Structure 1
Amino acid sequence: AGDYNKYIVNSAYSIGLMQAIYARFPDYFIRQRVNIPESGNHTPDLLDEMYYNLKWMLTMQDPADGGVYHKLTTPSFEGFIKPTECKQPRYVVQKSVTAALDYAAALAQASALFAPYEEDYPGFSEVALQAAERAYAWAEAHPQALYHQDLLNKQYQPAVVTGAYGDRSADDEFFWAASELYLATGKPAYREQVKKHLPTAYKTPSWGNTTALGVFAWLQPGREYQGEDVELANAMKDLLLDYAAEAVRGADRSPFHAPYGNDAKDFFWGCLAEGCANQATSLVCAYLLTGEKSYLTNAYRNMDYILGKNATGYCYVTGFGMKSPLYPHHRLSASDDIEAPLPGFLVGGPNPGQQDGVAYASNLPDESYADVEGSYASNEIAINWSAALVALVSSLDALMSK
């Protein structure tokens, strides 16, 4: 997020979302060259970037039993200083079932995507799949090992007060991980796990509910199914299309002609990513399945909302538009001795919870935004929110380029 710690749950979710979009538009990403050091190799640049994170994730697995540590963190957040100035010790903290499952899902997914690029990443595809299967086996053996930071702090010192990424249930993570592993290996045991954890409704993607990533895996273009798998894939499709139909209902009559932003419940911590952008990405998937243009139209409308067609008039992406965030809650931007923030980041967005204690100009849900450094509740940067922006912008650009 806006700090320097590393969290497996959020990291794996972010990777999973971007890899899902890569799998949906592989030809588009193969053509992309974004001037990174690896741009001259044979691997698409997005996968090169994913590898940078996946390589770190592999270090978070316990080689003894396959479990995955929840996070690598300082006990408390560092100040708004450069990374080289951070002096607190960092701790590897507790293995958890959600960390293991998110890890398993992202690495199983990566094993398939990296398989054609052995020349650049020899052996990685096999290593990733083995690590994924070991993590899933650990999760099956420890299904109740949820991360409870408060309980942990009662047992150990120093107390850890950084982002918890806790969860009340691992059902959605089991579904996503089992889906990716079944589709990567074809092993019937994983299909049985998919059926055991089959969702009853599609939920907008978020680190706290990864159901959608499992659905995306089943609905990936080019997959062919037989027998029982056809029924499972059709069930996933029905869940997504029910969601999409409900999402666009009434959008034409809404103030900003978008499916997002018409209810006070649309505004919460990280809403622009986990509500607006990810809803639009889901609508793009529905469009690809059906050809129904209203789904694509409404995905563009949500993009318009992010870019400034909203109650505050802000383009919520740093460095773009005439009115965009100048003071995000982001330590790299604050400490780099450059006045302007790093460009291209999506901030969290309006949040009537206002949990940070800074002064907000309005208490109205869609205007509860403060462009100040201290507003972590509305103006923070996070990798999962950046992943949501990448997923949506890439999806729309890929469709426009066809």
Structure 2
Amino acid sequence: MKAKKILTVLLCILALASTLVIPNTTVYANYGAPEGWRNLPDYYVFKDSFSGFAESSGGLETVNGGLPVDSQETFENLPSLRFSITNKIDWMAAKIVMAGWNTHDIHNYIPNGYLEFNVKGKVGGEQFKIGGDDLVARRASGDERSVYKSITDYVTVTTEWQHVKIPLKDIYNDPSFDLDEYNTRSVVLDRVNDDTFTVWLNQIKLTSPDKEKAFPAIKVNQVGFRNSSEKYAYVSGFEDDFNATPGTQFQVKRVSDDTVAYSGQLLLVKDYDIDSGERVLKAVFTDLTEPGDYYITVDANGIAKSLNFKIGSEVFKPLLADAARYYYYQRSGTALDPEFALGFPRADKTPMDSAAPFESNSAVTRDVTKGWFDAGDKGKYVSDGALAVMTLLWSSELYPESYTDNQFNIPESGNGVPDILDEARWEVEWILKMQDPVSGGFYAKVESTNDDDNMRVIRDKSGNVTNLRPTNDTAIAVASLAHASIVYSSYDPEFADQCLEAAKSAWTYLEQNPDNVKGPTRSYETDSDKESRLTASASLFRATGEAQYNEYFLNNYTQSKNIFENSEADSAGLWNYAFFYYMKASHPNVDAAKWYKDEFTIWLNKGLNRYKQSAWNNTIFEGNYYWGSNNIIMGTGTEALIGSTILGINTKTVNNMALSALNYILGANPLRKSFVTGYGEDSLKTVYGIFNHDLRPDVPKGFIPLGPNRYNNTGISIFPAKNYMDSATEWTTNEHSIGSASNLVFITAFANSNQATAVNHAPVFAYSSYTEEIEKIANEYLQ
């Protein structure tokens, strides 16, 4: 009994010591991975529904542009695909896509895997070809390749169902025409000769006896760390071939001479992490502050040294410049000159925007030049653009020391205005052009209507409804323009007044249209505009102090309660931004200020708990990596920083949560991938974007994709945080956006600022008399 008590005390002391060393890491109970967790599952290309296309010169049986699904010819209670040639044809194409129209990564399946299916013929002896294809943007030999194999090489078709297994190596490692297994797209079918035939295919799938491959074990921010900041790397791997354990020694070594600058022991984070499927350990080296270039080694077999990183006071300055320069490369309405484009010059992509027609009436045109392309295509959206502007303006307000004139090498550099404001103004000037001068409402979107992008249109139609000026887009435009009127007043009062007058006119439109006016199709249309209206009222109240905006806010702010308290939700988005503006007004209502303080603290505490409990110190909820996961991680950090700073409850823990988002993005993640082009030895090499049309094989520095997505291209990996493709043709994980870029700029500006290592306990809203109460709640929830 005494021995048990002593052991218990020792375990408690060890646990306490671990907490003292890494206060933001939770040590979890040891339980291993479930049996078979790493085995590659069968990946169905066709099971019970068809996705793809089929067409011919005539004679190929199709239904709605695809092969017919035959529910009469079944095997193992599942329908079949009918591949039927009814007469001689000149050409045909039939593709069964693997992941919608995205490319798909099947490299894990290739070494020992198979393309499996069941087949039967109408009369027996039928011949056809089956194979695969890929899609690789900007490949010198052509974007698309296909490899076919004759069915007779593997089976003689009869009138009875037979099972076929074609080694994937036969298709994807064909030496005469090697396909890219990291960018596959379809299972393809074709005829062998001019004979007519009918065959049925059932349960087409990829199979493999193998396990999912592992990524390199040491995952670290490949850019680096500020001297006084928290520093760590993850050391992780699949438990069946991972040799590091808690207590294993690690070393941080100097690149210059391979000498040891710091050593320590690995600490257990999670024995089994559902996001990655791995055992996760952590190497903490916060005490190392000497500037220099470093890498990490671990005393365990099979673990290679880490990639290099820096420690220094200015490690994030280049990243901030390139992250912000992203917007220059997204500019519409101008050529990108060699002087500024740094190897990526181009002509104006959309000169026709100088006279773009309205969708509802092509005889009416408008100048809608300028602005930023929203993402990987040439659409320009008021809602997304205004949100990105708001984030950049908040960054400029909170971290002015991070920004200067002549910082980004853009055409406006040297004009006496910080470059970040010059770049944001490019978008603001376009937003102003999207306003209807009669009503004050804003049109939602400008986009191309053909693949060549030489036909542009202002979207203002949905069904039979025309001249649409969505209230959601209008309200977000109001919020950004009112914010712009404050920020630009010191540099260009006339422009600031123009922004404010446009915002006030648009508010009148919102008052005249109290119910949501939904936007046109494919314009981020929404069924609710409540949060955007609240944000608009708050921003206008801050800019003007006028009672009408305050009254609207006070009558509507409590409807956001469920957003802040939802245990499964992520960032609060515009609901948070509404209060950011309101709390910065000259005279916010006392009760509203207290209400928000309470609700924000609940929301913040939720994010902090997730950050502490996550093996990767991010705020994703229980493996829920959905479309835009990188943006969710960074956006939560952005909102936490703005809100905690305004309320005066900013703590070192909040700052570390925000910095951990940047660490994750720059390589401290299950993929060991830096998600920013040009930053890190294992950084992103491609993006889904307009650069796909260029002959240059690379992309500029500073682009960030939306990140792992477990729902829209499933099967890239078994594990949620690894469902990502570094591919120029895969948009559900690798498309960039102006929204995610704005959060990268914000977090990087914070990391580069004086405030990254300082904690501000003084609120920056008007009612400083509430400091003691705010700090009391902060201590209760956060410390």
- TM-score using structure 1 length: 0.85
**Unaligned ranges ≥5, structure 1:** 79-84, 151-162
2:579 maps to amino acid: V
Q: Which residue of 1 aligns with 2:641?
A: 284
Q: Once the 2 structures are TM-superposed, how far is the Cα of residue 211 of structure 1 from its aligned partner?
A: 1.4
SS in 1 for 2:456: coil
Listed one character per residue, the Cα deviations across residues 124-178 of structure 1 (whole Å, up to 9, x for unaligned) are 111111100111111222233433545xxxxxxxxxxxx4211121110011100
Distance 1:283 1:125 in 2: 28
Q: Residues 330 and 381 of structure 1 are in contact (CA less than 8 Å); yes or no, is this contact kept in structure 2?
A: yes
1:368 maps to amino acid: N
Q: Which residue of 1 aligns with 2:669?
A: 310
Q: Residues 108 and 128 of structure 1 are in contact (CA less than 8 Å); yes or no, is this contact kept in structure 2?
A: yes
Q: Residues 665 and 675 of structure 2 are in contact (CA less than 8 Å); yes or no, is this contact kept in structure 1?
A: yes
Q: Residues 479 and 503 of structure 2 are in contact (CA less than 8 Å); yes or no, is this contact kept in structure 1?
A: yes
SS in 1 for 2:733: coil
Q: Once the 2 structures are TM-superposed, how far is the Cα of residue 262 of structure 1 from its aligned partner?
A: 5.2
1:260 maps to amino acid: T
Q: Which residue of 2 aligns with 1:99?
A: 473
Q: Once the 2 structures are TM-superposed, how far is the Cα of residue 193 of structure 1 from its aligned partner?
A: 1.0
The structure that is helix-richer by fraction is: 1
SS in 2 for 1:90: strand
Q: Residues 687 and 726 of structure 2 are in contact (CA less than 8 Å); yes or no, is this contact kept in structure 1?
A: yes
Q: Which residue of 2 aligns with 1:114?
A: 488
Q: Once the 2 structures are TM-superposed, how far is the Cα of residue 8 of structure 1 from its aligned partner?
A: 0.5
Listed one character per residue, the Cα deviations across residues 51-100 of structure 1 (whole Å, up to 9, x for unaligned) are 11111111111111111101112235x3xxxxxx6312323423100111
Distance 2:717 2:619 in 1: 20
Q: Residues 677 and 686 of structure 2 are in contact (CA less than 8 Å); yes or no, is this contact kept in structure 1?
A: no
Q: Residues 112 and 184 of structure 1 are in contact (CA less than 8 Å); yes or no, is this contact kept in structure 2?
A: yes
Q: Once the 2 structures are TM-superposed, how far is the Cα of residue 31 of structure 1 from its aligned partner?
A: 6.6
1:134 maps to 2:494: no
Q: Which residue of 2 aligns with 1:147?
A: 518
The structure that is strand-richer by fraction is: 2
Alignment partner for residue 526 of structure 2, among 143, 162, 167? 167
Distance 2:415 2:650 in 1: 35
Alignment partner for residue 15 of structure 1, among 372, 389, 392? 389
Q: Which residue of 2 aligns with 1:366?
A: 721
1:325 maps to 2:684: yes
Q: Which residue of 1 aligns with 2:6?
A: none
Who wins on radius of gyration, i.e. which is larger?
Answer: 2
Q: Residues 482 and 503 of structure 2 are in contact (CA less than 8 Å); yes or no, is this contact kept in structure 1?
A: yes
1:171–1:250 Cα change, 3 Å: closer
1:173-322 to 2 correspondences below 5 Å: 173-198=532-557, 199-200=560-561, 201-202=563-564, 209-220=573-584, 224-225=586-587, 229-249=589-609, 251-256=611-616, 258-261=617-620, 263-265=622-624, 267-273=625-631, 275-288=632-645, 289-322=648-681
Alignment partner for residue 347 of structure 1, among 698, 705, 708? 705
Q: Which residue of 2 aligns with 1:67?
A: 441
Q: Residues 308 and 316 of structure 1 are in contact (CA less than 8 Å); yes or no, is this contact kept in structure 2?
A: yes
Distance 1:31 1:164 in 2: 34
1:66–1:205 Cα change, 3 Å: farther
Q: Once the 2 structures are TM-superposed, how far is the Cα of residue 219 of structure 1 from its aligned partner?
A: 4.1
Q: Residues 618 and 664 of structure 2 are in contact (CA less than 8 Å); yes or no, is this contact kept in structure 1?
A: no
Q: Residues 278 and 388 of structure 1 are in contact (CA less than 8 Å); yes or no, is this contact kept in structure 2?
A: yes
Distance 2:639 2:498 in 1: 31
1:396–1:234 Cα change, 3 Å: farther
Distance 1:286 1:259 in 2: 18
- Identical columns (%): 24
Q: Which residue of 2 aligns with 1:81?
A: none
Q: Residues 405 and 414 of structure 2 are in contact (CA less than 8 Å); yes or no, is this contact kept in structure 1?
A: no
Distance 1:95 1:253 in 2: 44
Distance 2:630 2:406 in 1: 26
Q: Residues 74 and 91 of structure 1 are in contact (CA less than 8 Å); yes or no, is this contact kept in structure 2?
A: no
Q: Residues 219 and 237 of structure 1 are in contact (CA less than 8 Å); yes or no, is this contact kept in structure 2?
A: no
**Unaligned ranges ≥5, structure 2:** 1-374, 461-467, 759-783
Q: Residues 428 and 481 of structure 2 are in contact (CA less than 8 Å); yes or no, is this contact kept in structure 1?
A: yes
1:60–1:149 Cα change, 3 Å: closer
1:42–1:237 Cα change, 3 Å: farther
1:305–1:62 Cα change, 3 Å: same
Distance 1:277 1:32 in 2: 27
2:411 maps to amino acid: P
Q: Once the 2 structures are TM-superposed, how far is the Cα of residue 286 of structure 1 from its aligned partner?
A: 4.9
Q: Residues 349 and 379 of structure 1 are in contact (CA less than 8 Å); yes or no, is this contact kept in structure 2?
A: yes
Q: Residues 672 and 682 of structure 2 are in contact (CA less than 8 Å); yes or no, is this contact kept in structure 1?
A: yes
Q: Which residue of 2 aligns with 1:89?
A: 456
Q: Which residue of 1 aligns with 2:410?
A: 36
Q: Residues 178 and 190 of structure 1 are in contact (CA less than 8 Å); yes or no, is this contact kept in structure 2?
A: yes
Q: Residues 354 and 368 of structure 1 are in contact (CA less than 8 Å); yes or no, is this contact kept in structure 2?
A: no
Higher RCO (CA-CA < 8 Å; seq separation 6+) = 1
SS in 2 for 1:72: strand
Q: Residues 75 and 91 of structure 1 are in contact (CA less than 8 Å); yes or no, is this contact kept in structure 2?
A: no
Distance 1:204 1:47 in 2: 29
Q: Residues 448 and 457 of structure 2 are in contact (CA less than 8 Å); yes or no, is this contact kept in structure 1?
A: yes
1:384-399 to 2 correspondences below 5 Å: 384-398=739-753, 399=755
Q: Once the 2 structures are TM-superposed, how far is the Cα of residue 268 of structure 1 from its aligned partner?
A: 0.9
Q: Which residue of 2 aligns with 1:124?
A: 495
Distance 1:149 1:18 in 2: 27
Listed one character per residue, the Cα deviations across residues 254-301 of structure 1 (whole Å, up to 9, x for unaligned) are 322x14245122x1111111x100111223235532242111112111
1:276–1:53 Cα change, 3 Å: same
1:313–1:41 Cα change, 3 Å: same
Q: Once the 2 structures are TM-superposed, how far is the Cα of residue 30 of structure 1 from its aligned partner?
A: 4.5
Q: Residues 351 and 365 of structure 1 are in contact (CA less than 8 Å); yes or no, is this contact kept in structure 2?
A: yes
